[in-house]
Structure 1
Amino acid sequence: MNGIKMPSNILLLSIRPKYAKKIFEGNKKVELRRVRTRLDKGDLVLVYASSPQKALIGSFEVDRILEIPIQKFPEDLNKIWNKVSKKAEISRQEFDIYYAGASLCVCIFLKNVQLLPTPINLTRLREEFSDFRPPQSYHYLTENEFKMIKYIAQNNTCSVSDY
Structure 2
Amino acid sequence: MNKDKSILLSLHPDFALKILEGKKRLEFRRRFPILPTGTKVYIYATKPVGKILGECQILSIKKIEAQFADFYIQKSGDNREEVLNYIRGLQEFIVLEIRNPIKLNEPAFIQDLFSEIKRAPMSFCYVPNK
TM range (shorter): 0.7 to 0.9
User: Equivalent residue for 1:111?
Assistant: 99
| Pair 1:97-2:85 in alignment | yes
Structure 1 Cα separation of the partners of residues 39 and 28 of structure 2: 16
Higher strand fraction: Structure 1 or Structure 2?
2
- Whichever residue aligns with residue 54 of structure 1, its letter is G
Question: Which runs of 5 or more residues in structure 2 are unaligned?
Answer: none
> Cα 1:104–1:121, aligned 2, differ >3 Å: closer, same or farther?
same
Flag the structure with larger Rg. Answer: 1
Give the aligned CA root-mean-square deviation in angstroms: 2.2
Structure 2 Cα separation of the partners of residues 39 and 95 of structure 1: 22
Provide the aligned length of Structure 1 versus Structure 2. Answer: 130
CA contact (8 A) 1:55 1:121 kept: yes
- Return structure 1 stretches of 4+ with deviation > 2 angstroms: 5-9, 125-128
User: Equivalent residue for 2:46?
Assistant: 50
SS state of the match for residue 38, structure 2?
A: coil
With structure 1 as the length reference, what TM-score do the two structures score? 0.71
With structure 2 as the length reference, what TM-score do the two structures score? 0.87
Which residue among 15, 32, 40 is the counterpart of 1:19? 15
User: Equivalent residue for 1:83?
Assistant: 72
Question: Which runs of 5 or more residues in structure 1 are unaligned?
Answer: 71-75, 148-163
CA contact (8 A) 2:73 2:79 kept: no
Give the fraction of aligned pairs with identical amino acids, expressed as a percent.
27
Higher relative contact order (CA 8 A, sep 6+): 2
> Cα 1:128–1:7, aligned 2, differ >3 Å: closer, same or farther?
closer
